Structure 1
């Protein structure tokens, strides 16, 4: 595996770095470091404006084919963009689910009409998306969803509940996995629907987290509707489409995520040196271990992105990556509390958390959202190692 960059790639790196330096100024300069997991409430409207600024200059959906509004950049150039974006401490993007998950799914499996309707608005950051997968009785077990949809003439009518729906309260559309074949079980009889959020039949209830913020939501569908044409793939083909979407989670933005992780680790190292915790050999060993593990995660991501696995392999690669980074980041939250010692146990007035307390609390969810560790291990055990399937209860 050749991980070296060409002279053309290095020139592109200079272009990206220069553009960010020139444009993260004025009102946008104040957005540096804003947003991200546990902090999506920070300067949200301003970050939307920043994303639209990126779009006007051709910096959204950069890996998409040019015919769909992207730039058709190579894999390494996409990695370079996300790395430089993270190194510039630019604000967290607001359009991840549309740009990184739904858009590529539509490009691969959507109809021409769906591509024409939805892709330009994702590129321009005019419509924001959320993901309707998890349910109270199913969690990360996507094949056990109970949300129902029935076709009534030219309209799908949807009833059910989704949970842990990230940013649903800020989204215009939701891609929903629903059961469209009555009596079907497991992954059979599911369909992948595109549902508008701004309608009478959709209710969003924010879930207040231990951080005091509410990125996650419950979403109730009570006779919600969407056009019959808004099914991706064939009716009953929802499992295949949903697995394709999950495969896109292994995208190049994960390399930028790891640059952000490195920044957090570097900052924690400075805290340890300042308060003397670094002199403790146990803490020093844990900091060194975290650095080595982060480099392993980076190399695994590069290897995965370089191999272009087939459709059947993509969820497995995504499961490996999720297990690696989620466990690492959760451990970093623990380490931050150990480095800070007694200071980590108190908050300011009105539950005013500092950055390390917020990191600790939110990383408790890293091994749950996006597919729990248990589900990721089942995927690897059953699909890679060929072990017997875990016994599951019958779908309702």
Structure 2
């Protein structure tokens, strides 16, 4: 099986983890702050807070920005459920903004219209979470301009976008946002096994997220409400969580980070090879905004729209039958049963639903060989030829 995504673990990665196993620290040691510092420097951010996964980082980001009951968070329906669930963890309401039909990211014109209506109705969001789908950055300048006008905070969900660039700068520098969140799941650009990171330029937000990721406990006398009993003292000054990253994970992440540019370069090369081979076919290849450089977490085709193009289910079955592990990203969040119980309905966000009906993710990972990619391309061509055949079933 050629999977849609796969991690790459080198001997250097293994040695980095083994070194931690042989050290005095497995959880809260020196590797986590080293990883945070290196990651922040790579993004051009002043602060980075490592977490056990990106969902935890989203939750902490919402809490640090003061999201709570009576507040609203808006995000894209074309994302994994965590981008919306983080608001509900805080007791806030969730709503969605439909996507751009070309980039599949949150649509700025739709956001602008929705904000104008919300201001009239007194239901403006406290936070907007644009999602850099497949690794391509959103139109952050446009979203920032709306944030300045309407007064909402911005959390970039860059779970797909480690190593991506927007207007010549690395994603994560928070030039247009308050906080940016990343994922290090094994199929993402770099991995820590499971893990996440939040970057910010605001020291207060960084301090709050760091406090809440570790039970809300501090050992800093300056933060304590009473005089410490001794050097052993600590105080829980807020209700926090156990969202810490381990030194084992951080050591792996720090090692992987050294190869980030190579990983993104190879993903870009594979995407360009897909483009050259598939654009002549009756499918829609990913379109890239001119002011961004994707990290190419996903390569998504749209099929079943042009004459001679197979239905998505037909292509999915044909490729899986040949050992090609295609996948679909994403089922729109608002159509999930748990969200339908909140009042959302099919048809609420038609562009996201239209995209979902035709989307299929092809295998793409840095160790994918040219030969494996040629197998995928040949299988797609064969499936399309079969769909165009007069004998093909309707």
Please, what TM-score do these two structures have when normalized by structure 2?
A: 0.26
Structure with greater helix percent: 1
TM-score, scaled to structure 1 = 0.26
